[in-house]
Amino acid sequence: RKRIKESARLRLREFDVGDKYSRLPLPKASVLLPLMVRAGKLHLLLTVRSLQLRRSPGEVCFPGGKREAIDKDEIDTALREAKEEVGLQPEKVEVICRLVPGIDKMNNLVTPVVGFIEDTFQAIPNPDEVSDVFVVPLEYFVKPLNYKALSYKNSSGYFSRMHCFTYDDCERKTSFKIWGLTAHFAVFLALVIFGERPTFEVDYDLNNLISSSENNFMNLYASLYERKKSNL
């Protein structure tokens, strides 16, 4: 377990963007990508949004949400939201890094914060926000059994590839659909840690993953900025 964690830590730290994108003039949000080691393999914890929520009810996502005035940075936001949503205490998270952000459909700048949690963690879902919590082997996001790519128009008006995974949890006899920005972050995390070619197409130069992921993001941000300007 120690070896698996140490190797993942080293890879992740190479991709840490710190506060590089924190000053971009967009509303801020963060998500926590909680990693754990189970049965000798890395797993990722995900949640299902409550059906009572107005936005994206029933969708799979990472614990997270919008930045509040009390948060000093993106890490604070992710940890606070994880505590509120699934009862994960901030001191029980070993924060490793912040990865290249994404932009959601509400044009929030969403920063993924990666951290290790104990494999014994028992989630206490807040029923107002979360209807279910489950874990997926991280490897599933480079070698899925059930995958399709959807073409969609992103927030800047360009067509882009959206990953869509169906994960069958055999123990619980439940299937989960993981797509959108959640799938985008999970795929990037798996590419960073495993450093291998996935079984499906991705919009990155895998030989230059750091620079191509940052270029992709900046192109998305620039086109969003141009569109906002033309709407003024």
Mean local confidence (pLDDT), 111-137:
96
Which band of pLDDT confidence, cut at 50, 70 and 90, is reported for residue 24?
very high
Q: Is the pLDDT of residue 131 over 90?
A: yes
Which band of pLDDT confidence, cut at 50, 70 and 90, is reported for residue 56?
confident
- pLDDT tens digits for range 91-121: 999 999 999 999 998 899 999 999 999 999 9
CA distance 126 to 169: 22
Number of helices (H), then strands (E), belonging to the chain: the values are 4, 11
Which band of pLDDT confidence, cut at 50, 70 and 90, is reported for residue 216?
very high
pLDDT at 105: 86
Q: Is the pLDDT of residue 51 over 80?
A: no
pTM of the model: 0.94
Which band of pLDDT confidence, cut at 50, 70 and 90, is reported for residue 143?
very high
180-198 burial code (b ≥16 CB/10 A, e <16): bbbbbbbbbbbbbbbeeeb
CA distance 47 to 42: 17
Which band of pLDDT confidence, cut at 50, 70 and 90, is reported for residue 165?
very high
Domains of the chain with CATH codes: 1-230 (3.90.79.10)
CA distance 204 to 15: 14
Which band of pLDDT confidence, cut at 50, 70 and 90, is reported for residue 224?
confident
3-state secondary structure of 127: coil
pLDDT at 230: 63
- pLDDT tens digits for range 58-98: 899 999 999 999 999 999 999 999 999 999 999 999 999 99
Which band of pLDDT confidence, cut at 50, 70 and 90, is reported for residue 57?
confident
Mean local confidence (pLDDT), 186-196:
97
Between 64 and 51, residue with greater pLDDT: 64
Nearest to 115 by CA among 47, 44, 35: 35
Q: Is the pLDDT of residue 183 over 70?
A: yes
pLDDT at 156: 61
Mean local confidence (pLDDT), 14-26:
96
pLDDT at 124: 97
DSSP secondary structure of 137-189: EGGGGTS-SSEEEEEEE-TTS-EEEEEEEEEEETTTTEEEEEEHHHHHHHHHH
